Structure 1
Amino acid sequence: MSSKNTAIIIGGGISGKLAARVLSNHYKEVIILERDQEQVGPYPRKGAPQGEHLHALLHAGESGLEELFPGITEHFYHSGAIKINSTIDLAWFHHGAWKVRYDGGYSTTLQTRPHLEWHVEQYIKRIPNVVFYYNQVVQDLLYNEEQNQIIGVQLKDESFKADLVVDASGVSSLSSTWFRKQGFGITEEKVEINLSYVSKQFELSEDQDRDWKIKMVYPKPPQEKMGGTISKVEGNRYIVTLIGYHNSVNDKEVLKDNSGFIEMVKKLPRLDIYQEIENATPLTKTSLYRIPNIIWRRYDKVENLPNGLVVIGDTVCRIDPVFGQGMSIAILEALALQKLLQKHKGELHKVPVAFHKKAAKIISPIWNMVITEDLRYPATKGKKPFGLSIQQWYAKNIFLLSSQNQEVYNSFVKVMNLVRPITSLMKPSIIKSVLIFAFSNSRKS
């Protein structure tokens, strides 16, 4: 197939669909090459095993998704997604204390990942110059070494030429292997967390009053390694997801039967979730997904990066999913790509290098925030950032203050939802509150 202002996207997951949306305004033809077969509804798919577990779309991600797909949020609600007040309907036990609950004026949508992804795909299919090719495995990148240009992709039986290739295939991407083979040096920041995700859906009794739509019980590191969340989703179902750092989840025990899962939930720091599901009706099998490490591939630092290639989403950075920021990062990257395409219209060859630098600026503060928490466990292996102990001390006091101080929690919620930079937690009034709180606690101990 010849290239006539064509963009090819490797991978039709969330990141691939987002890329297709923004590229459709700038390329005559956008081709999505997806390994999986075409889905017939909002169901989990083989190529996204993490899709059966709880996902969150943070405020910045939800706002960005609506910007890219106007009206999609209402489509979510019309088909059963749950709209909640983010600070009233969330009960969150964190570092040994319940967060304060108040009306902060924020809303969040609760739904399964397959439900969200299905609606995004239906929107994409209505864009006339975007086409899906399912059951397609990309085997290699086509490279013009003389021009240092990616010019397409090679499948088993045919090749596709393109002016731009976007790799959205995920953490085990073709691009990272290809770069190593070609001798391009890619710096990788890797942190070993040995995380297990275990999920199951339930039907809960309706004769019980609940003052929450989602309840989160986080572990208090380093003593506690297991946490869990129960969340209402579409179809009047509840999804329960357990997380366990450093192999704290016994895979055999949790997968053997329904009682194995429920007994594991009983081991959480609090019994709240166990009490909800001990007599509930299981609706699905137990799903297990392991994340041995998180990784950030620094394409922004590659010297002489080949033209014609953009790497996006988990292909660049797989973040710790416990913090629920992965999909929102992908949306922020898509919005950044959209701005760069508009800025360099007519000079689209300038977009890849500019995009990877912009993506690094999006990822960097989130990565540092996440590894600060992951490194509370001595078993976590990875490069420690400068001033780690001070960052951890300050963050822990923010967490604890969030159980009683509405201003602090409100600022923390905005940072966690990627609406405000982490520096907003350093304003004088919050620093003062942290110091008074820490001094008061030190006198009591």
Structure 2
Amino acid sequence: MKRHEKAIIIGGGISGKLAARVLSEFFKEVVMIERDQESVRPVPRKGARQGEHLHALLHAGAHGLEELFPGITEKFYESGALKINSTKDLAWFHHGVWKLRFDGGYTTALQTRPHLEWHIEQYIKAIPNVLIYYNHNVKNYFYNIEENRITGVEVITANNSTKTFIADVVVDASGASSFTTNWLKQVGVDIPQHKVEIGLSYVTQLFQLPENRSRDWMIKLIYPNPPHEKIGGSLSKVEGDQYISTIMSYEYEINEKQVLENEHGFIELSKRLPKLDIYDEIKDGTPISKTSVFRVPHIIWKRFDKVRNLPAGLLLIGDTVCRIDPVFGQGMSIAVLEAMALQKLFLKKSNNLQKTITIFHKKIAKIISVIWNMVVTEDFRYSGTSGKKPIGLKFQQWYAKQIFLLSSEDEKVYNTFIKVMNLVKPMTILMKPGILIKVLAMSFRIE
């Protein structure tokens, strides 16, 4: 197979690493430019402030990751990640009810984001034609205005010198704060976008908990019942016999400064959850980390697939395209699905490079569209949420609510919902006649 010469990837986060893995098959050289320093062990990165908080890899993401990096799942477990039964070991309080717990045959790896990302990086480092430049920061694009083509990047190194990289394609995987959007505006490129203000804040702390033989779960989720409840939380066992607890709120319901100033601020905050289960666990635990705060004022989807005059040679992926509401744990899995889509396109030898890039942006728009609609349907349960509402919002919210309630008593409905939530099956399977009848029956029962 004939390979292209060189690809440049801006950003060494999860999306950047996944892109490097895929492009290493189709380019003679892949250069990844990362502004953070090299990690020697699994620790949160400065450039990924959200990395200190609870993350989840959904089933579709886990399957895709294993396909891209054969054996990585076992590496997770060998180094401390916990293998759990996704439906039996999860205790989930959602919209005022506890979901059923049963053995559905699904497994999930519980681990911190740094642990997962570090293992991916070890695989990337073992690929001979991938070069990683740490402590390097992209300053500008090289742009051929006559051809409307990006040909490379200008980079500032750790010692403040300038370096030039020229390539066939430049991939921006640097995330939501990417400079590309402003750069494109400067050269006259308008980017349509969807933006929804959600006022989300995250507060997280690590704990060691005393042994408790009655603890029959590995991860516990206490979600708010909107619109009146705005605070939710989670407690999950992770590697190193530690527990990570994250408390989130919509409409900035949490006073973060107050939590940080109080030595026991996080534990006190857990009392405000809809259930006291997490408080009852951590009140006797030992905090083993500082309290971390992360804000997501809005979610945004930049429609690069609709830009007619996007410069050739520029490919965008991950949070650079769409930052989704992290409460639903879909971000990393979306990145994996996008990488898999990119790989499939490059395997179609009939496509030239620019055609592959153009089609890729349209492909990932289809991936994002369904998930975006699913997420904002829930976000708009709060009156403080602002932005463009999906068509048929009220019906979607009503129907989803019935599914949530049925998931507390009907194993078949919950099992179907799990497949949708984990991005394994389309939402349409929740509209099959058998489930539709149960939804209608539930609504009559409630009324």
Tell me how far 1:386 sits from its aligned partner: 1.1
Partners of 1:351 and 1:301 in 2: how far apart? 15
Q: Corresponding residue for 1:431?
A: 436
Q: Corresponding residue for 1:226?
A: 231
Partners of 1:296 and 1:328 in 2: how far apart? 16
The 3-state SS of whatever aligns with 1:139 is strand
Matched, 1:240 2:214: no
Which is further off, 252-261 or 368-377? 252-261
Tell me how far 1:295 sits from its aligned partner: 0.2
Q: Corresponding residue for 2:422?
A: 417
Query: Cα 1:374–1:346, aligned 2, differ >3 Å: closer, same or farther?
Result: closer
Matched, 1:282 2:287: yes
Q: Corresponding residue for 2:96?
A: 96
2:404 to 399, 407, 415: 399
> Which runs of structure 2 are paired with 1:241-256 in the superposition (5 Å)?
241-256=246-261
1:360 to 331, 354, 365: 365
> Which runs of structure 2 are paired with 1:6-405 in the superposition (5 Å)?
6-156=6-156, 157-344=162-349, 347-405=352-410
**One-letter amino acid of the structure 2 residue matched with residue 75 of structure 1:** K
Query: Cα 1:22–1:233, aligned 2, differ >3 Å: closer, same or farther?
Result: same
Answer whether contact 1:31 1:131 (CA < 8 A) is retained. yes
Tell me how far 1:340 sits from its aligned partner: 0.6
Partners of 1:345 and 1:256 in 2: how far apart? 60
Query: Deviations along 1:235-285, whole A, 9 cap, x unmatched?
Result: 000000000101101111211234111000011000000000001010100
Partners of 1:116 and 1:394 in 2: how far apart? 35
Percent identity, aligned pairs only?
64
**One-letter amino acid of the structure 2 residue matched with residue 79 of structure 1:** S
**One-letter amino acid of the structure 2 residue matched with residue 231 of structure 1:** S
The 3-state SS of whatever aligns with 2:360 is helix
Partners of 1:425 and 1:397 in 2: how far apart? 11
Q: Corresponding residue for 2:413?
A: 408
Query: Deviations along 1:192-222, whole A, 9 cap, x unmatched?
Result: 0010011000001114331100000000000
Query: Deviations along 1:39-61, whole A, 9 cap, x unmatched?
Result: 11000110000000000000000
Answer whether contact 1:253 1:261 (CA < 8 A) is retained. no
Partners of 2:231 and 2:349 in 1: how far apart? 47
The 3-state SS of whatever aligns with 2:137 is coil
Answer whether contact 1:84 1:109 (CA < 8 A) is retained. yes
**One-letter amino acid of the structure 2 residue matched with residue 36 of structure 1:** D
With normalisation by structure 2, the TM-score equals: 0.97
Question: Number of matched residues?
Answer: 440
Tell me how far 1:405 sits from its aligned partner: 0.6
Partners of 2:38 and 2:240 in 1: how far apart? 23
Query: Cα 1:207–1:398, aligned 2, differ >3 Å: closer, same or farther?
Result: closer
Query: Deviations along 1:275-300, whole A, 9 cap, x unmatched?
Result: 00001010100000000000000000
Tell me how far 1:231 sits from its aligned partner: 0.2
Which is further off, 315-324 or 149-158? 149-158
Partners of 1:255 and 1:428 in 2: how far apart? 50
Partners of 2:86 and 2:299 in 1: how far apart? 27
Tell me how far 1:346 sits from its aligned partner: 6.8
Tell me how far 1:305 sits from its aligned partner: 2.0
Query: Deviations along 1:295-329, whole A, 9 cap, x unmatched?
Result: 00000000122211110000000000000000000
The 3-state SS of whatever aligns with 1:35 is coil
Partners of 1:346 and 1:273 in 2: how far apart? 52
Partners of 1:319 and 1:127 in 2: how far apart? 30
Partners of 1:302 and 1:9 in 2: how far apart? 21
Tell me how far 1:185 sits from its aligned partner: 1.1
Q: Corresponding residue for 2:159?
A: none
**One-letter amino acid of the structure 2 residue matched with residue 34 of structure 1:** E
The 3-state SS of whatever aligns with 1:196 is strand
CA RMSD in angstroms comes to 1.1
Query: Deviations along 1:43-93, whole A, 9 cap, x unmatched?
Result: 011000000000000000000000000000000000000000000000000
Answer whether contact 1:187 1:298 (CA < 8 A) is retained. yes
Which sections of structure 1, spanning at least 5 residues, go unmatched? none
**One-letter amino acid of the structure 1 residue matched with residue 122 of structure 2:** Q
**One-letter amino acid of the structure 2 residue matched with residue 295 of structure 1:** I
The 3-state SS of whatever aligns with 1:190 is strand
The 3-state SS of whatever aligns with 2:264 is helix
Answer whether contact 1:144 1:151 (CA < 8 A) is retained. yes
Partners of 2:185 and 2:286 in 1: how far apart? 49
Tell me how far 1:348 sits from its aligned partner: 1.9
With normalisation by structure 1, the TM-score equals: 0.98
Tell me how far 1:344 sits from its aligned partner: 3.6
Partners of 2:405 and 2:181 in 1: how far apart? 40
Answer whether contact 1:202 1:238 (CA < 8 A) is retained. yes
**One-letter amino acid of the structure 2 residue matched with residue 221 of structure 1:** P
Partners of 1:345 and 1:129 in 2: how far apart? 24
Partners of 1:93 and 1:258 in 2: how far apart? 28
Partners of 1:172 and 1:351 in 2: how far apart? 25
